[in-house]
């Protein structure tokens, strides 16, 4: 028996949708907006690609301006469009930051 079988299959009508079969159970998924599912070279493979790259799906989004859609999605993903937070500056919930007052306190002398 082949445990952990995993394959991807294009949706018969909708360019943006595809199925992932995991151990014989199909689940429907959708590509991010601005992309469509492109069947891979090997059977059961594929990825979300630009519609221009996928024969038959070039006009899937019609006259929508995909570049502006993608850009607005990217900006929305950062939360703050103008100033994305640099990585590492997010406070870790399991380690509270020391308060400035306690940071400057002298170390207790161990006599």
| pLDDT per 10-residue tile (average), the chain, 111 residues | 76 97 94 95 95 94 75 63 48 54 57 59
Domain boundaries of the chain, sorted by first residue: 1-72
Single pTM value for the model: 0.56
Residue 60 burial class via C-beta count within 10 angstroms: exposed 0-12, middle 13-18, buried 19 and up: middle
Q: Which residues contact 79 (CB under 8 A, 6 or more apart)?
A: 85
Q: Which of helix, strand or coil describes residue 74?
A: helix
Give me the pLDDT at residue 32, please. Answer: 94
């Amino acid at each position: 028996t082949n445990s952990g079988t995993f394959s991807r299959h294009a949706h018969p009508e909708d360019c943006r949708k595809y199925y992932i079969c995991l151990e014989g159970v199909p689940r429907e998924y959708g590509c991010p907006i601005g992309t469509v599912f492109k069947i891979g070279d090997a059977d059961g493979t594929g990825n979300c690609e630009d519609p221009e790259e996928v024969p038959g799906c070039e006009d899937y989004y019609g006259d929508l301006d995909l570049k502006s859609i993608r850009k607005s999605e990217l900006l929305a993903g950062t939360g703050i469009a103008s100033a994305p937070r640099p990585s590492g500056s997010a406070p870790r919930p399991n380690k509270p930051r020391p308060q400035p007052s306690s940071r400057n306190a002298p170390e207790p002398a161990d006599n």
